[in-house]
A and B are shown apart, each in its own frame.
Chain A
C-alpha cells in the first residue's frame, strides 16, 4: 500500500527541497557576505587567513569605510555621480525612444519598400567609397544623400515588394546580436571627431543605442496587451495621436514601463566594455574605478570591498524591492523573443 497521496510530496521530499534551496541560497549569498565582512577587516586580518564572523573571529573596524569616504572621497564621488547620471539619463532616453517606436510598431502599419532600403544601402556604400578615395566627409555625405533621394524617387519605386511591421521589429531586436566590440571602435572615432570623448554625453548616447533593442521589444509586448478601444474612442473624440499616447497609453502600460526602465537601468549601471573604450578620467564610471583600483598598490581588498559594496548597493536594493517588475521584464524578453 502506498504510504502517501501521489499528489502531496512526502515530508522527506519537502525536507530535501528546503535543504537544496538553502544550499543554493548560501551559494548565492556567501560571496556578498564575504565582501561585507572583508570591508570591515584590517589588512592584517585579510592577510592572516580567513576569518568569518565579526566580533567572534575578529574585531570589525570601519577604517576602510573612513578611508574610502575621506581620502578617496572625491574620486569615488565623481565616478558615482557619473554612473548615476549616465545610467538614469540613458535609461530614460532609452525608455522614451523605445516606447515611441514600440507604440508605432503596434498601432501603425509600416511598409518600407525593399527598393528604398537597397538604394539607401547602395548610396551608403558609395559614400564610403568616396570617403576612402579622399573626398571630404561632408561633401561625400551630401552627394550620397542627394543621390539617394534621386534614386528613391525614380528607381526605388520600381521595386514594389515591401516589408511589414514584423520585419522592422525583427531588425530592431537583431541589433542586439551585434557584439559591442564591433561597433565601439568607429563610435570612439566618431566621438573623437566630435570632441565628446571621455564625456557623459558620449556614454549616454552609446548606452541608449546598445539598450534600445531590448526596450523596443519589451514595450512592444506591453502595448500589444493594452486594449485599443479606449484609444479608438479618444481618437473619435478628436484627440491627437500624441495626446492619446501620453495621456492614455503610457499610464496604462505603466508596469511595462517600470519593468523596462529597471532592466535598462541595471544594464547601463553595470556596463563595462563601452565605458572602457570611451572614457578615461573625466567620465569614469564605477566599474572602471573599481577595476582601476587594483593597479596601484596590489589589491587592497578592504578598500575594494567598500567600493564594490557602494557600487552594487543601489541595484541590489532595487532588485529586492522591485523584484516582480524585473522578473516580468526578463520573462517577456526571453519567452516572446
Chain B
C-alpha cells in the first residue's frame, strides 16, 4: 500500500504533463511565433496608436497644475501651416532658376515615364514616385533661394540623400579597390569595418575635435587654406557638412561590406572575357560589373535611407542642432519639443516623419526595387 500511494499522484501529474506537452506540441507553431509578435505589438504597434492620440493633445499649465487638452489636428496645423511652419518646412523663396530646374526635372521624369509606359512597365507607383520626387524637389529648391530658410525637413532630406549618395559612391570605390584580391586587403577590410561599431556619440565628439580649425589636428591645413579661425559649427552649411561627414565616416563601411560581397559573387570569367575582348576598365564596370551590383545596391540604398531618416545623435552632439536650427533633423526637432514638455508637437513630428518614411519607402520599393532586381 505504501508503495502505491506516492505513485498515484505522480501518475496523475504524469498524465497532466503528457497532455500539456502534447498540447504544446500541437501548438508549437504559435508558441514559437507569438512571443515576438507580442513584443512587436506591445512596443511598436500599440505605442504607434498611443502616439497618434498623443499628437492630438496639448499639455497646458494652469494654476501650478498640468492638464491634457484634446486639440484635434491643431498640432499638425501649427507645424504644417502655422507658427511652427518655418521650423519644420522652412520658408520658401521664389526665383526663376528654381522654376527652370523644376521644369527640367518634370520633363525628365515625364520622358522616363513615357519610355517605361511604351515598354509596358509604367505603373501607378512610378507616377506616384514622380509626383513625390517633384514635391520634394520643390520643397528643397525653393529653400535654397537667397533669403529663404531651410527647415528641419530639408535638413533631414539633405542628410538622407546626400549622405546616402556619398556613402554609396565611396563604399563602391573602396569595394572595387579591395576586390582586386591583392595581398593585404584583409587588413583594410577589418579597418574599414571599424567605424560601424563605434558609438555615434563618440564619433560626434571626434568630429568636434577634428573640425576645430585653431586647435584641431587639421589646423595646418586650415591655416594653409586661410581658414584659420573659421568656425564650422557657426556657419549653417559648414555645420551641416560637419554632420554629414561624420555620418559618412560611420556608414560608408556598410555600403563597402555589402558591395564587396556582391562584387565577389560575380563570376570571374565574365570580367576576364570582357578584358580579353578589349573592354576598357570603365566599360567593364558599366556593362559587366554594375548590372550584377544593382540588386544589392538598390536594397542597400533603401536600408541606408530608412535608417538615415532617423538621424539624431550626430547633430545633437556635434552642433546641438545649431547654429539656430540649421542642423536639426526631424527627430531632434521632436526631442527639443519634448524637452519643453510640448509632447503633442513631439508626437505629431514623429508621425510626420513616419508618414514621410512610409511614403518614400513604399514608392521606392514599388517603383524602383523590382526594376533593379530585374523582376519587372
Q: Does A56 contact B (CB under 8 A)?
A: no
| Least CB separation from B204: chain A residue | A291
Are A291 and B199 in touch, CB under 8 angstroms? no
Q: Are B32 and A49 in contact, with the CB atoms below 8 A?
A: no
Chain B nearest CB, measured from A295 CB (Å):
11
Scan residues 288-337 of chain A and give those whose CB is less than 8 A from a CB of chain B: 290-291, 294, 299, 301, 304, 308, 311-312, 315-316, 318-320, 323, 326-327, 330-331, 333-335, 337
Contact B261 A179 (CB under 8 A): no
Q: B141 on the interface (CB 8 Å rule)?
A: no
Which residues of chain A from 269 to 283 have any CB-CB distance to chain B below 8 Å in the complex?
269-270, 272-273, 276-277
Interface range on chain B (Cβ under 8 Å from partner)? 35 or more
CA A335 – CA B257 in complex, angstroms?
A: 11
Contact of B310 among A52, A179, A205 (CB under 8 A): A179
Q: How far is the CA of A286 from the CA of B205 in the complex (A)?
A: 14
A17-B177, A25-B188, A216-B36 in contact; A242/B24 too (CB < 8 A)? yes
* B281 CB, min distance to chain A CBs, angstroms: 9
Within 8 A of A (CB), among B188-212: 188-203, 205-210
Q: Is the CB of A287 within 8 A of B193?
A: no
- Check B215 against A318 for contact (C-beta < 8 Å): no
Inter-chain CA distance A334–B304, complex, in Å, is 9
Cα distance A109–B54 when bound, in Å? 37
- CB-based contact B206/A35 at 8 Å: yes
By secondary structure, the B interface counts as helix
Looking across the interface, which residue of chain A has its beta carbon closest to that of B215? A49
A104 at the B interface (CB under 8 A)? yes
Q: Which residues of B contact A49 (CB under 8 A)?
A: 214-215, 219
- Which of B2-10, B44-52, B96-104, B109-117 lies on the face that meets chain A? B44-52
Cα A242 to Cα B200 in complex, Å, equals: 39
B29 touches A110 (CB 8 A): yes
Chain B residues near A187 (CB-CB < 8 A)? 43, 47
Instruction: Take A104-B29, A276-B335 as given contacts and tell me if A316 and B206 are in contact as well, using a CB distance cutoff of 8 Å.
Output: no
Query: Among A58-66, A156-164, A207-215, which stretch is in contact with chain B?
Result: A207-215
Binary contact readout A48-83 vs B (1 if CB under 8 angstroms, 0 otherwise) = 111010000000000000000000000000000000
Given A266-B196, A291-B316; 20 other pairs, CB 8 A cutoff: A21-B177, A29-B194, A35-B209, A38-B209, A50-B219, A97-B39, A100-B32, A100-B36, A108-B33, A168-B33, A181-B350, A185-B50, A206-B43, A270-B197, A272-B201, A287-B201, A290-B201, A290-B202, A308-B202, A316-B197
8 sampled A-B residue pairs with Cβ under 8 A: A46-B215, A181-B331, A185-B343, A270-B201, A272-B313, A273-B312, A319-B193, A323-B190
Which positions in B face A, CB cutoff 8 Å?
21, 24-25, 28-33, 35-37, 39-40, 42-44, 46-51, 53-54, 70, 173-174, 177-178, 180, 182, 184-185, 188-203, 205-210, 214-220, 249, 254, 257-258, 261-262, 272, 275-276, 278, 295-296, 299-300, 302-303, 306, 309-310, 312-313, 316-317, 330-331, 334-335, 338, 343, 346-347, 349-351, 353-354, 357-358, 361
Binding site for B on A (CB under 8 A): 6-7, 9, 14, 17-18, 20-21, 24-25, 27-32, 34-35, 38, 46-50, 52, 97-98, 100-101, 103-105, 107-110, 124, 128, 132, 168, 172, 175-187, 189-190, 205-206, 208-210, 212-213, 216, 240-242, 245, 266, 269-270, 272-273, 276-277, 286-287, 290-291, 294, 299, 301, 304, 308, 311-312, 315-316, 318-320, 323, 326-327, 330-331, 333-335, 337
